[in-house]
Amino acid sequence: MSKTKKVLKDIIIEQLGIDELPKEDQDEIVAGISGNVLKSITLAILERVPKDDRPKFDKVKEKGDREEIKKFLQKYVSDLESLVEEETKKCINEFRAIVASL
């Protein structure tokens, strides 16, 4: 598991207060919410990449070289871990608001 995915999982578990649940249940819940969180993180990253550089990013992304992608994004996202944490918390708060309104 990558460091970013581990951070994401840990934040979701902490923010939802599910750390006392069995690991299998935690994994199921994390899997259910992580798709939306990843979309939010991706959008936040893309918002930081200038429009003129997005075609360059697409080319780097197509190559599939994680290190090259990371190097490219570091120009625009200085602290990926903080961004992941911020976007994860935002998504979880939105999730809580939806659940509370039901």
Domain boundaries, the chain: 3-101
Percent above pLDDT 90 for the chain: 31
What's the rounded Cα separation, in Å, for the pair 66 and 16? Answer: 30
- Contact between 44 and 87 under an 8 Å Cβ cutoff? The reply is yes
Q: Give pLDDT tens digits for 21-59.
A: 999 999 998 888 888 998 999 899 999 999 999 999 999
- Contact between 49 and 27 under an 8 Å Cβ cutoff? The reply is no
Which long-range contacts does 49-56 make (Cβ < 8 Å, 24+ apart)? Answer: 49/73, 49/76, 50/76
Q: Give pLDDT tens digits for 44-99.
A: 999 999 999 999 999 999 998 888 988 898 899 988 878 888 998 898 888 888 87
